[in-house]
Chain A
Amino acid sequence: MQQQLHAYLDFEPLVQGLERRIARTGRKRRRIEWIESRLSMRQIRTISIIMLWGITASVAVWLTTLSIPHAVQIYFIAGVLVVMAVLLAVANRCTRRGSFLDHVRTMILVLGAVLTMRYICWRIVYTVNFHDVLSYIAAIALLVAEIYGITMYFLGSIINVKPLHRSIRKLDESALPTVDVLIPTFNEDDSILEVTLIAATQLDYPAELLKVYLLDDGGTDAKIDQADPHAAATARDRRRRLQALCETTGATYLTRKDNRHAKAGNINAALVRISGDLLLMLDADHVPSADFLQNTVGEFQADRKLFLVQTPHRFITPDPVEKNLGMYHKMPGESEIFYRLVQPGLDAWQSTFFCGSAAILRRQHLNEIGGLPTETVTEDVETALMLHRRGYRSVYLGKPMIFGLQPETFSGFIVQRCRWAQGMVQLFLLRNPLLASGLTPQQRFGYMNSTMFWFFPYARLIFLLAPCAFLLFGLRIYDSNLNQFLLYAVPHLIGALICANLLFGKVRWVLVSELYESVQSIFSARAITQTLLNPRAPVFKVTDKGECLKKAFVSPLASPFYVIFLMLVASLIAGYFRYQITPGQRDIVIITVGWAALNLFIVMGGLGVLLERRQRRTSPRLYLSRAISGMLRFGDAVIGCRLLDISMTGVKIELAQDWPDGLDPKSSGVLEIPVGENTALLPISVVRHHSAQPAVSLTFSEMTTDIKRWIVAIGYGNSDNLDWDVESLHATPGIIGGFVNFLWLAIRRAGAHLLHVVRTSVYFLMTRIQSALNKFQLLARHGIG
């Protein structure tokens, strides 16, 4: 019966099917087990999310490249930009960090990326066509520059989307490591070194564990024995003076036989003579706050694989751009974007790097690579790269604890930037982060971003000159009409502005980056080209600091800017005629004229930078953000006061009351300031009364080493004085406000520059005429001729 039923029902196919299914399921399970044996669930999840991330990104970009009716695209673009603007407003007003803000920030960046990818796809496919050889070359160059810019924009967005803001790790007092403070010097002024040495010796750290070394490369044996007797005497004198200074301040003076490998060689020579566990690296003009080691050493105690704690460089003098534009303390400084945003961003990807100063290194790890490498002129970044490759870790602590000086002149600024550019390009060529072994993918991203950034001079020059190529020479560099430009390029530009505002809006005003890049580009491009041609040629050039400029003058580097300025002016004039003569090209003329006009404003800003304004103050003034109260004593008269700023030569105070009647406005007295448990007694003289507020400027009437120590302790002792907020008090003007501010600034400063040139020329001419007249009168008086 059963046999009959079986024959009737014929279960065989069903059984075979089930067996196949079971086998399949078994295979699937074995596959899963195989994967699980190699990957954790968390890794599988991460890989899945990464794959989903890649797929969604690709689909989104692909969708934007489809040919959809323009009317629909306009609605889409308008919608995206409105959403981005609203989200930006939300992000800027959101005071708490957290998940919501993360989503908002990421959404803005994603939408910006969609607009940018849409633009670049259109740009590549439709706007580069062959017209003639020169045009094609120019068009390709411009396209490459744009692709470079967009690559950097994406890299920057990825790195800065979620920066890592660390809090200070507490110090374990029971097992403190020994610390050597290394201050390399080459030609810095004694007064600068003195302040740094005093501050270093006053670091809040057990004295037996702390040693301060001045590493003098200006008084090496080679310098002293050099053939030029005057130079040798100067070096000898410098060595003698600095040895005395070290003795006075409690530091140790070290020098070496020769000057090989510049700063890196100087430090390496010292490494064999010192023995501290940790090395605090300070530039000669970098004055540390007393709490520097208290705030940083804890990181090394917590992580044995940590090789670096980098802190920001805070500058108490303006760089030439800020100074010459009169924007110091009115807009965020240039370094803020790097130290407040980029470095924390890199830290999140474990790729923050050593910046040469204001950092602590673990000696043991440094020894493993034979000290600071000397392959490139940016030995600091190279050091970090090599130690990252060995799997060591770095930390960036965003609290500023260093008071530094900027180069005073534009020439000094350019020397510094060219060195950085050359060093980074050397690193790109000789130790390419993409190819270097041992780095994580994130670190490769980070280092690629850091090194590739320095190719910007080429891109910036192309952006500056591209409109001239069309307007002056008729080269077809960008095939588009106005509608397409409005539909593709403008949304990308607005989107990029919004993203830049989101990422950097609080520390960088609109067009300021373009200005900085433009003023460097001509010189950096030359330096980079030399490096590309011979990567091992660059040598370390020391940046001059603490110079005093007695009168305003036009920088000797100004000539190329005059050429570009004139080219842009000529381009605008040519644009006017092209608009009239070639109405068929009006679309492209309008686009390029607008572009040239923007470039002109940037170059006008550059001209403003190139008019070096005089710098009368020899000692930098330090603005104090924390209220430091004191007493002003003139004999029996005592006036309560609060310190506003301080320098090594004087102080400005706000009085608690009006100046007492009958008291001599130029009185001399003593300023009493509590410093910890002690009170500093500083002899002063009144030099100026400020009418706007009950405030006076005082000068120190006596200057001893103890008084200097008091001044350093008051001004530089507390890192809270260096809080970023000091310079962030000025309101962020926003995109439109920043744009308008920049244009107005460019017009004013370029006007001042040109006026100075006219005045100088007229003065020169008048002097010549006067001289000629005098000579003529003299000759006439003597009846000659």
Chain B
Amino acid sequence: MHLEGFRVSLYVGVVAVLAVSAVAQAQTSSSSAAAVEVSEAPAVEVSEFSLDTLMSRPEQILLQNAADRYTFYIPLSPRVRLRRATLALAFTNSISMFEPRSQLRVRVNGRVVGQTLLDARNPVRELSVDIPPDLMEPGYNEMEIQVAQHYASQCENPMAPELWTNIDTSRSRLKFEYELNEIQTSLAEIPILINPLGWNPYRLTIMTVTSKLQEFDLALGAVLSEGVATSLKYRPLKVSHAVALPVPEEIGETASGRVALIGNPADADATLFGTSAKASHAVMLPASEEVRESALGRVALIGNPADADAILFGTSDKVARFLPDKIAQEIVGPYIGLMRHVADRSRFVLLISGRDRDELAIAARAFLLAGAELPDVASMTVSDTSAPEVPRYANANAIEAGHRYALSSFGVQTKTLRSGTDSVEFEIWLPPDLFVPASSALEVHLHMAYGGGSDPGSVINLDLNGEFSSAIRLVSEDGGIFLDYVISLPASRLRAGSNTLRFTAHMAPMTKSDVCFTPSSAGLVASIFDDSWLLLTEARHHVELPNLRLTARTGFPLSSPADGSELHVRTTSLNHDVVASAWTLLGKVTQLGAIAPWKVTIGTNPAEPGRHELIVGPIGELPPELIAAAPVRFGPSGLLKAVVLEMAHGQKDSKTVRRLFSVGQSLAQPQAVVQALASVDYEAGPDDRTYMLQFESPTEAGRLVTLVTSVSNSSLRKGVDRLVEFDLWGSLDGDLAVWDLSADSARTTRIGSRFHIGQPDLQSRASFFFSQRPWLWISLLVATALLFAITSVSLLRQRARRNRT
């Protein structure tokens, strides 16, 4: 709700549209006309992935009892036009299944699209289902796998243990054949064009018009990356950089050896884009990307139309060379315009421009702030922008200790649950810098009702983050109403950031000895009322860093506050790959912070005081003071050469007495590990590993340095592109992560010292400190109590002596 209001205010405060829609329409039609002339038939693309990629946590599905189901949600981008969709469902059913009555069926958006009998003689099978393309709608499509399972023709126990079917989610695959829709050149379409519903990470090319990047370009590209990332929400963003150059210009060698040099077609590592016969310009692109010819008058083709949209920015005098005169003349202020890619009409080029740098900055900022709220025109001129002040934690579901929150404030509406099928699920967001003491609890005060006729064994389960946490027994056969039913969960089980609470009703009808009894299920319902509330009893803003897991989950401290006012992104150079890596990482940080971080600073200089630093660059270019402060060592060839060995810290547990006295410690530090830091000097060729490392800033105490580095610029960029994908990002932990492109996950460890940030009071610090050292707490307490007793006795004796005298 808060976010929505925020967007509206942005819309009202930011945008003044001066563009004439007629001009835009004319431009649109002319573009379309041009496209007809030159575009090829749309290519059919194929995407295939396993079912477990659609699950929040990959796992096997076990469908049990006489009837059971499992639901997936399949995203479908509005930019996609499906040609064919198929599901190959791999499953194994029980060999006790009674074939004539047992069946599995697949429903998509409520319609059955495939079914099969469950055959006891052929239990391991694969069902291939063609999903009618017209059944799938843009957005999330519900796909339900249902089973009806029986072991006899009649009179059976519906909960018999032999009634099961296992869905192998890693072998079951969904395959889509599709085309991309031709885009509409309206700024209002941007939320559709840049949407979170893709099956793959979103690729974006940011184009600049000068051969040599400047700090200003770096900052502007960062703002645009943030804007795109905001629209994408959680979908990974991979940014690449390219430069548009006019042909006549003399081309020198760029910083990156892998960038094409215009006019030197013989260079094996370069690609010449543009045809000098038709146009007076050309574009320099990374060599590996495919290039197609432009047919849009004098507009350059930008990026790789096969898989990337593009944003071109520059002042009007620089970009005019690539634009039709009519459009170039429209740039009379901060300008945002959307154009269709000529070579691939399913791709767009977003033009950000202005007459000078200030106007250019305003336009970029407008794109960032306005996000999805741009008007339904092809281009617009922005008059001004302003950004509101936002709270430190901008998440709509954020909770603070000591406050009551009605479930309705998390979007929950009063809902009637049917046994086993429905659930009430909502998300709460725990500020990432909260220290939750051991005594703290998350209290859920539930108002609910349940129907009659249920077995006393019926329950409503409460799952926290997918784990069973508590159950409410529904004992009365007549049903009942609970007001203020208190479920108290240890708050230590909450995770920083997003937490999911889910209520599920599991109600069985009252059983009778006669198995042929047909129970009524009408009463097997329960309602959760939205005026139920929850309370986090105690927490303090105090957190221990470095913690890559915390950063990966919540972006903390990089995305806190959410407006980015405490973050500085620092690149070691203005190399294309380094810059692209920084933009990509900034996009990730933006997505974790939920809103556009318009106060982030970026550059090649060190941060101003009070900001955490995200430093991106190859090892060889890292500032010496950081190399000295880092908890790892770098070898002469620039290679990381610290090897950490971690072993589980076990305790001999043979004697009862020992067990008795070791409980406190083992409870306090359940994840204790033995670390061995080895140092090996070696010489080797460059590898393609990338490193992410966090440690306390050597220049400012209490500030975090997050270092992302690799051996070379190119390996850095590839590593960062790999990093932002869900699986790798989700596996970050400790203070050092190392990965290469082939790795399934990062190897992580903790090798540096820790420090605390936040505003902890003494009580909080002490609680934290002694929680880690329980025996010290007990010893200190006993010692002070003893001293207290001794001084008491001493004073009393003095008193007694005085009485005697």
Contact = CB atoms under 8 A, between A and B. Distances in A.
A582 B483 contact: yes
A78 to B, nearest CB: 11
Between B767, B789, B803, the greatest number of chain A beta carbons within 10 A of the residue's beta carbon is seen for B789
A75 B661 CA distance: 9
A59 B784 contact: yes
Contacts of B767: 66-68
A162 B667 contact: no
B663 interface: yes
Contact of B771 (A50, A59, A63, A67): A67
A483 B793 CA distance: 35
Interface stretch (B12-20, B383-391, B432-440, B706-714): B432-440
Interface string B776-789: 01101100111111
B484 A106 contact: no
Q: Which 10 pairs between the two chains have the least Cβ-Cβ distance?
A: A584-B485, A67-B437, A72-B774, A53-B791, A69-B438, A67-B767, A60-B784, A56-B788, A110-B789, A56-B787
Contacts of B288: none
A782 B655 CA distance: 98
Between A60, A63, A69, A126, the greatest number of chain B beta carbons within 10 A of the residue's beta carbon is seen for A69
30 contacts: A46-B795, A46-B798, A49-B794, A57-B788, A62-B766, A63-B781, A66-B763, A67-B437, A67-B438, A68-B770, A68-B771, A69-B438, A69-B771, A72-B664, A72-B667, A75-B663, A103-B789, A103-B790, A106-B789, A106-B796, A107-B785, A126-B538, A348-B803, A349-B799, A350-B803, A580-B476, A581-B482, A583-B472, A584-B484, A584-B487
A60 B785 contact: yes
Contacts of A103: 789-790, 793
B380 interface: no
B792 A161 contact: yes
Contact of B789 (A65, A107, A349, A585): A107
Given A49-B795, A53-B792, A484-B439, 16 more contacts: A46-B795, A50-B795, A63-B781, A68-B771, A69-B668, A69-B771, A99-B793, A102-B797, A109-B792, A161-B792, A581-B482, A583-B472, A583-B482, A584-B445, A585-B484, A588-B486
Interface in B437-490: 437-441, 445-446, 472-473, 475-476, 480, 482-488
Given A56-B784, A76-B778, A584-B487, A68 B792 contact: no
Contacts of A64: 781
B537 interface: yes
B1 interface: no
A156 to B, nearest CB: 15
Contact of A66 (B472, B663, B766, B795): B766
A582 B476 CA distance: 11
Nearest to A166: B803
Interface residues of A, number: 51
Contact of B800 (A107, A164, A584): A164
A647 B508 CA distance: 78
A481 B537 CA distance: 12
Nearest to B803: A164
A103 B791 CA distance: 10
Given A63-B777, A72-B778, A126-B538, A162 B796 contact: yes
A582 B482 contact: yes
B763 A65 contact: yes
A679 to B, nearest CB: 44
B800 A348 contact: yes
Interface of A: 46, 49-50, 52-53, 56-57, 59-60, 62-72, 75-76, 79, 99, 102-103, 106-107, 109-111, 114, 126, 161-162, 164, 348-350, 442, 481, 483-484, 580-585, 587-588
B778 A106 contact: no
Contacts of B439: 67-68, 70, 126, 484
Contacts of B787: 52, 56
Nearest to B435: A67
Nearest to B665: A72
B473 A75 contact: no
Given A56-B791, A348-B799, A584 B784 contact: no
B785 A110 contact: yes
A582 B668 contact: no
Contact of A582 (B484, B771, B798): B484
Contacts of B789: 103, 106-107, 110
Given A68-B438, A68-B771, A72-B668, A106 B792 contact: yes
A369 B483 CA distance: 65
A221 B58 CA distance: 104
A69 B770 CA distance: 9
Nearest to A72: B774
Classify chain B's interface size.
Answer: 35 or more
Contacts of B488: 481, 483, 587
B486 A585 contact: yes
A69 B769 CA distance: 12
Nearest to A111: B785
A56 B781 CA distance: 10
A114 B785 contact: yes
A67 B437 CA distance: 5
Contacts of A164: 800, 803
A284 B457 CA distance: 73
A350 to B, nearest CB: 8
Nearest to A161: B796
Nearest to B481: A581
A99 B790 CA distance: 11
Interface in B533-562: 537-538
A162 B770 CA distance: 35
A60 B781 contact: yes
A53 B800 contact: no
Contacts of A52: 787, 791
Nearest to B438: A69
B793 A69 contact: no
Contacts of A63: 770, 777, 780-781, 784
B788 A583 contact: no
A150 B780 CA distance: 25
Contacts of A79: 778
A72 B777 contact: yes
A68 B772 CA distance: 9
Contacts of B668: 69, 72
A580 to B, nearest CB: 8
Contacts of B484: 582, 584-585
A483 B439 CA distance: 10
Interface in B59-76: none
A483 B486 CA distance: 13
A61 to B, nearest CB: 9
A71 B792 contact: no
A103 B797 CA distance: 11
A169 B664 CA distance: 57
A69 B795 contact: no
Contacts of B485: 582-585
A70 B486 contact: no
Contacts of B792: 53, 106, 109-110, 161
A724 B399 CA distance: 64
Contacts of B473: 583
A481 B788 CA distance: 32
Nearest to A42: B798
A52 B796 CA distance: 14
Contact of B781 (A53, A76, A109, A481): A76
A102 B801 CA distance: 14
A59 B485 CA distance: 38
B482 A584 contact: yes
Contacts of B791: 49, 52-53, 56
A102 B537 CA distance: 42
A527 B777 CA distance: 49
B406 to A, nearest CB: 15
Interface in B107-143: none
Interface in B748-773: 763, 766-767, 770-771
Contacts of A350: 803
